[in-house]
Structure 1
Amino acid sequence: MSGENENQPNLENAAELEAGAAELNGADDGQLDTNLATLLAELDKARQDVLYVRAEAENIRRRAAEDNEKTRKFAVEKFARELLAVRDSLEMALADQSGSFENLKVGVELTNKQLAAAFEKADLTEINPLGEKLDPNKHQAISMAPADAEPNTVIQVMQKGYELSGRVVRPAMVVVAAPK
């Protein structure tokens, strides 16, 4: 029976606890309600703050995605504007009915200068490695030929290469000196 007594609640302690709780409830009931209301208000404000932060984070993410899309879409806009002048010059040359070879040559030279200026503004630089050692990062050897130059030296440029801001867009196609 001693096991049963351990599991049975102690009536004297329960009465004391009830009396203590009644004292607390009676004395601080108004203050507890005030504290509870304050805590609930703080909780509601914290929830609103979390919702605001989430919404703001989502807006920032969405705006960043839109900006990235616009940047990707219109990255070449300045370069395209520069090329429009080159196209206009070429169309004028094709429309020329004078038959003068000299006028055509002058027009093509001016158009080439416009194109070079557009490339320069876009930081598009030419790779013309004649006489340089073969650099597989910038040059593509298409053949080897006997030459007096040191082996693997570029002896002929078949097609110039181009770099955009230091990044190879098209490697130069070259012929290199064969080993002796």
Structure 2
Amino acid sequence: MSEQTPPEHDDIPEQAVDAQPQAMDIPEFADDSVDFQTARIAELEGQLKDLQLRTQAEVQNIQRRSERDVTAAHKFALEKFAGSLLDVADNLERALQATPSEESALKALHEGVTLTHKLFVDTMKRFGVEAVDPLGEPFNPELHQAVSTQPSTTAEPNSVTAVFQKGYTLSGRLLRPAMVVVASAG
């Protein structure tokens, strides 16, 4: 094997060979500058931690809001469907009121409609649909729609004396207000 000889310095300029490495212009930090830098780092770390906590809190708020929205969506998903079924309940109630319960053929029809109505109402209750039947209660504009007023000496003023049509709620939210007659001072 051949030995390699070190390269000749003939091709390197003389001033580069003699040159010493030059010191970089790095400012020297005084002790108070180091303290300042340490304090600044601590301040920035504190700000970072604060931002991380705020971000974490915001994420939790978004999650809670999303969960609440999903719960509400599940709870009220049947609102339009349930509202459409209210006419069925009304018609069953009208059929019950229209059929006498004494005659045998009509009695069987009345019992059948009564059982159908009970099953229908129970099914609606199971899914959070509740009737609002405010007869005798104070008028509540959030649940009742006054169709008319009627002077009364027996009923308390501003109370419901007649119900033309029941109202309904779905999980506490109004689907349809009850149509009522309200007593006025006689």
Normalised-by-shorter TM-score class: 0.3 to 0.5
Structure having the larger proportion of residues in helix = 1
TM-score between the two structures when normalised by the length of structure 2: 0.46
Using the size of structure 1 for normalisation, the TM-score is 0.47
